[in-house]
């Protein structure tokens, strides 16, 4: 008979157990048993199948990404001109032009109105503005920083559309309020601030034209606007103020003086010391900030500053100032005090500063500054423990959640950069996941994708946001528990869309490919990937675009290999994608040639490492190995690409540089096995029929490989090719036959089954039978039958089939078997066919459960072959005398000439 490794139809080897349970109650017992038998035939998996699955998914290791020892924003790659720096100084925060000068007397809430305040010139304001700031000064009107691009414009006081009025040089975003962006006046004579934040206070200006010409109306308008954008609503909602609008646009007035006095008294009440228990005065926020301001930022005691910062946070917490609206004036003064220490080398001080700034819910440049500060701390893994303190991570993620990747790009770059570093710590990773960071990250990816699709202009740094975001996301998916939430949040569709939209950005593509290669090991994630119709086209484009980038190619190929390994529909879609197979073959050829070139180079007599190139070859060939599991695709690829594939594979198998790479060799052998499964010896035009000797010559040395896996795959290929008499003759004429006989002494079950499967086909030829007898093959099979059969009926089935083919054409068994071997077979077979002894089954047994157990059904397959063999031996012994007569008179008994092909075929089992 012919031996062929057959494809397992089902994934679950226990499907047979449900066959009779799901049967209709009207079916007879015989019908139910037959259905159970059919189920078990279709459920032989790789571990239990007598011949092992001939064609199966090829597995490989996930590409390894070494973790950088140093935490860098963009890694160790050559920096680009437009990339934000990984190392920077925060000293600029100490001299921000949008921060006010602390009053000379250091009294936080004491307000003094100068009769003759000085208005700084525009040139002076620009002098203090940072060149790399996202804000611009609008000196003509607001004297504050303007954030670009603005999101909300201030309402027009004269009911004209704001966009048509030309009295503003810039517009202002409500994310960048005057209280947070006021300028610092470099004037030693100035003793107090000249701008106030509430509608009860006014600033007296010199009588200078605000817009280049004298206009009392415009001056009054400027004075009104200096009250602060957030107070304009209060002005228009207050009927009393509207009724006295004449005084609203005057320099001074009775109403203004009364409001100033009322405000002053209120502030004094808040800042005066109060008595605790009637004894000692309690320190106020004034006292704490004064102590901080009196501290020399160039020479101070770390412990003292740290204690003051902790005291400040504790005071804010006690007074209910956390997570609530803090006076803009107080916010600015606190920031000014904190920024004096942002260049500290003490991480404890920096983390305290960051926590206080975050709790004030800052925006604009202040938000960018605190994100940079957190990034600076997170760069050193020694500081990871600092992020476990109280609610620091909650505040940080809240700030990130209030940021826009388009409008707050700089802040998001450093925030996600810090998050990327922090998620390298397993405990911090768990914490940020518990805080719900994943939905926020997906939302930000979606916002960026939408802006890209809508062609909405955004800053170049938004691309860097996506890079840092996807880098942090890669760390998140290292925890397998996140996969369900990963799918629920719709992460995969957004990632694939970003992969398509930003395909020209190698950094983003590399990050996303890392994430997809990780999650593709999960079946549910694979299902989600398959649902994206454009995924195959995107992958093919990226293969062509990044042909020389092995880091991207190896991960995309690994992901694609996982998809087609698990889902048959994905194999069809990929095969139908235009030039998909051509693209894979081009990649294979490119990296094969690169590897050969690297191997030919010598540096100080040491070969250059080519492991990355070989890894790409492994991942690419795995895609082909898994796609041909589909029978139609397998046959089509054999017809269209078979000759080229075989030539490429043999080139590797016979090349010394590749022989040491066991995984590469194993991948090629597995792919050859899957392709040769479709070989038909009846078709002389079949590519495997034409090249069968070339293949046999190429794999002969792997029958003696040190790797059992390589030997198993080689045996499977020989099992497919040995259906041809040409291959059987070649095996008999070479050392392969002796190697096969030697493998019968192994104890590895899968290797035994595949090797014995080759002998099933070889025993079709008399020449092979004689060699088998001379090598002591029969005694080795009987020894295996004695050792393993009762615990492995599938192996027993194969052994009996070899022996049946071995002696099927002979009349005198003594020509092939010794008397002792015949005696041993009689005893063993009779013992193994005893149903009552093995299962307690006799003629009166009616329990259907016995007949549908897995062990019984597998044994029954063994019994079919073993019974034929036992009957032949018994028949030979019963007619031995007649056989002796036939020796003297050959015409007395005609020998059987039945071909082995008429015997029981495995395909019918």
Q: Are the C-beta atoms of 542 and 534 separated by less than 8 Å?
A: no
Render 863-902 in DSSP notation, one character per residue: HHHHHHHHHHHHHHHHTHHHHHHHHH-GGGSPPP---GGG
Burial grade of 718 (CB within 10 A; 0-12, 13-18, 19 or more): buried
Q: For residue 794, what are the contacts with CB-CB under 8 A and spacing of at least 6? A: 44, 48, 49, 50, 753, 858, 861, 862
Separation CA 782–CA 777 (nearest Å) = 9
**Does the residue 838 lie in any domain?**
yes
**Does the residue 789 lie in any domain?**
yes
Q: Are the C-beta atoms of 56 and 46 separated by less than 8 Å?
A: yes
**Does the residue 864 lie in any domain?**
yes
Q: Are the C-beta atoms of 908 and 865 separated by less than 8 Å?
A: no
Separation CA 687–CA 721 (nearest Å) = 12
* φ, ψ (nearest 5 deg) of residue 895: -70, 155
**Does the residue 312 lie in any domain?**
no
What is the number of structural domains in the chain?
Answer: 1
At residue 825, the 3 state secondary structure works out as: helix
Q: Are the C-beta atoms of 615 and 550 separated by less than 8 Å?
A: yes
**Does the residue 834 lie in any domain?**
yes
Q: Are the C-beta atoms of 727 and 690 separated by less than 8 Å?
A: no
Instruction: Give the domain range for residue 874.
Output: 776-884
Q: Which residues pair with 144 in a beta bridge?
A: 182
Q: Are the C-beta atoms of 493 and 536 separated by less than 8 Å?
A: no
Q: Which pLDDT value is given to residue 860?
A: 85
Q: Secondary structure of 568-603 in the HEC alphabet?
A: HHHHHHHHHCCCHHHHHHHHHHHHHHHHHHHHHCEE
- Strands 606-607 and 602-603, how do they pair? antiparallel
In this structure, the number of other CB atoms found within 10 A of the CB of residue 453 comes to: 10
* pLDDT, tens digit (0-9, with 9 covering 90-100), for 648-661: 999 999 988 888 88
Half-sphere exposure of 611 (CA within 13 A, CB side): 5
Q: Are the C-beta atoms of 625 and 58 separated by less than 8 Å?
A: yes
Q: Taking all residues of the chain, what is their mean pLDDT, rounded to a whole number?
A: 74
Half-sphere exposure of 604 (CA within 13 A, CB side): 0
Cα separations (Å) of 600 from 586, 611, 614, 652, 762? 21, 14, 15, 15, 42
Q: What is the CA radius of gyration of the chain?
A: 41
Q: Are the C-beta atoms of 409 and 465 separated by less than 8 Å?
A: yes
**Does the residue 642 lie in any domain?**
no
Q: Which residues of the chain have pLDDT under 50?
A: 1, 5-26, 29, 40, 43-53, 78, 97-279, 603-608, 892-909
Q: Are the C-beta atoms of 449 and 494 separated by less than 8 Å?
A: yes
Judge if pTM exceeds 0.85. no
Burial grade of 552 (CB within 10 A; 0-12, 13-18, 19 or more): buried
- Strands 135-137 and 275-276, how do they pair? unpaired
């Amino acid at each position: 008979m012919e031996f062929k490794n057959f494809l397992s139809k089902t994934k679950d080897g226990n499907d047979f157990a449900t066959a009779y349970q799901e049967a209709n109650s009207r079916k007879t017992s015989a019908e139910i048993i037959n259905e159970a038998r059919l189920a078990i035939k279709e459920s032989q998996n790789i571990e239990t199948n007598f011949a092992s699955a001939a064609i199966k998914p090829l597995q490989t290791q996930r590409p390894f990404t070494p973790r950088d020892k140093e935490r860098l924003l963009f890694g160790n790659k050559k920096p680009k001109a437009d990339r934000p720096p990984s190392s920077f100084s925060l000293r600029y925060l100490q001299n921000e032009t949008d921060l006010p000068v602390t009053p000379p007397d250091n009294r936080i809430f004491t307000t003094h109105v100068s009769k003759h305040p000085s208005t700084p010139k525009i040139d002076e304001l620009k002098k203090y503005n940072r060149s790399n700031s996202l804000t611009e000064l609008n000196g003509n009107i607001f004297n504050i920083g303007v954030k670009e691009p603005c999101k909300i414009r201030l309402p027009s006081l004269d009911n004209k559309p704001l966009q048509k009025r030309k009295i503003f040089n810039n517009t202002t975003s409500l994310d960048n309020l005057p209280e947070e962006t006021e300028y610092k006046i470099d004037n030693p004579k100035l003793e107090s601030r000249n701008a106030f934040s509430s509608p009860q206070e006014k600033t007296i200006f010199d009588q200078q034209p605000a817009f280049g010409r004298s206009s009392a109306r415009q001056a009054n308008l400027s004075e009104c606007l200096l009250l602060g954008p957030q107070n304009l609503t209060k002005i228009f909602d207050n009927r009393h103020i509207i009724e006295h609008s004449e005084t609203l646009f005057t320099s001074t007035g009775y109403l203004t003086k009364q409001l100033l006095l009322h405000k002053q008294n209120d502030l004094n009440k808040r800042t005066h010391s109060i008595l605790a228990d009637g004894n000692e005065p309690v320190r106020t926020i004034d006292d704490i900030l004064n102590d901080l301001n009196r501290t020399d930022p160039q020479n101070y005691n770390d412990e003292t500053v740290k204690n003051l910062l902790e005291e400040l946070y504790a005071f804010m917490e006690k007074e209910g100032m956390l997570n609530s609206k803090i006076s803009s004036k107080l916010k600015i003064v606190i920031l000014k005090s904190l920024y004096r220490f942002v260049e500290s080398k003490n991480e404890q001080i920096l983390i305290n500063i960051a926590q206080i700034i975050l709790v004030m819910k800052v925006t604009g440049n202040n938000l960018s500054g605190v994100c940079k500060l957190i990034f600076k701390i997170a760069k050193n893994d020694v500081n990871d423990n600092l992020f476990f303190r109280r609610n620091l991570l909650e505040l940080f993620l809240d700030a990130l959640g209030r940021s826009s990747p388009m409008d707050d790009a700089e802040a998001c770059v450093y925030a996600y950069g810090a998050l990327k570093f922090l998620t390298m710590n397993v405990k911090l990773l768990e914490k940020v996941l518990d805080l719900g960071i994943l939905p926020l990250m997906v939302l930000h990816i979606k916002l960026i994708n939408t802006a890209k699709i809508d062609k909405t202009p955004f800053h170049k740094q938004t691309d860097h946001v996506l890079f840092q975001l996807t880098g942090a996301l890669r760390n998140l998916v290292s925890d397998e528990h996140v996969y369900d939430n990963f799918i629920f949040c719709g992460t995969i569709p957004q990632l694939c869309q970003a992969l398509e939209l930003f395909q020209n950005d190698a950094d983003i593509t590399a990050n996303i490919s890392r994430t997809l290669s990780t999650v593709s090991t999960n079946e549910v994630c694979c299902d989600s990937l398959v649902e994206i119709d454009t995924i195959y086209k995107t992958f093919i484009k990226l293969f062509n675009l990044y042909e020389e980038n092995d880091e991207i190619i190896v991960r995309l190929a690994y992901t694609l290999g996982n998809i087609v390994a698990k889902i048959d529909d994905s194999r069809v879609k990929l095969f139908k994608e235009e030039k998909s197979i051509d693209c894979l073959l081009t990649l294979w050829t490119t990296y094969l040639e690169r590897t050969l070139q690297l191997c030919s180079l010598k540096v100080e007599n040491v070969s250059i490492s080519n492991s990355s190139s070989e890894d790409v070859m492994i991942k690419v060939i795995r895609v082909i190995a898994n796609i041909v599991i589909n029978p139609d695709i397998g046959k089509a690829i054999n017809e269209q690409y078979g000759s080229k594939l075989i030539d490429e594979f043999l080139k590797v198998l016979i090349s010394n540089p590749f022989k040491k790479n066991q995984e590469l060799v194993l991948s090629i052998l597995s792919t050859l096995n899957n392709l040769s499964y479709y070989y038909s010896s009846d078709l002389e035009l079949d590519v495997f029929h034409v090249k069968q000797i070339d293949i046999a010559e190429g794999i002969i040395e792997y029958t003696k490989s040190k790797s059992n896996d390589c030997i198993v795959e080689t045996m499977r290929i020989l099992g497919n090719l040995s259906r041809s008499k040409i291959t059987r003759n070649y095996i008999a004429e070479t050392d392969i036959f002796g190697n096969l006989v030697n493998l019968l002494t192994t104890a590895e079950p899968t290797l035994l089954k595949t090797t014995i499967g080759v002998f099933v086909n070889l025993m079709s030829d008399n020449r092979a039978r004689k060699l088998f007898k001379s090598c002591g093959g029969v005694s080795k099979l009987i020894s295996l039958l004695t050792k393993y059969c009762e615990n492995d009926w599938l192996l027993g089935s194969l052994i009996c089939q070899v022996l049946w083919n071995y002696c099927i054409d002979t009349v005198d068994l003594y020509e092939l078997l010794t008397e002792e071997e015949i005696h041993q077979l009689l005893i063993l077979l009779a013992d193994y066919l005893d149903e009552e002894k093995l299962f307690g089954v006799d003629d009166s047994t009616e329990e259907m459960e016995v007949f549908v157990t897995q062990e019984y059904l597998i044994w029954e397959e063994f019994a079919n072959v073993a019974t034929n063999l036992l009957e032949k031996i018994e028949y030979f012994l019963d007619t031995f005398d007649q056989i002796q007569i036939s020796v003297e008179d050959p015409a007395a008994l005609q020998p059987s000439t039945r071909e082995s092909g008429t015997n029981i075929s495995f395909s019918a089992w």
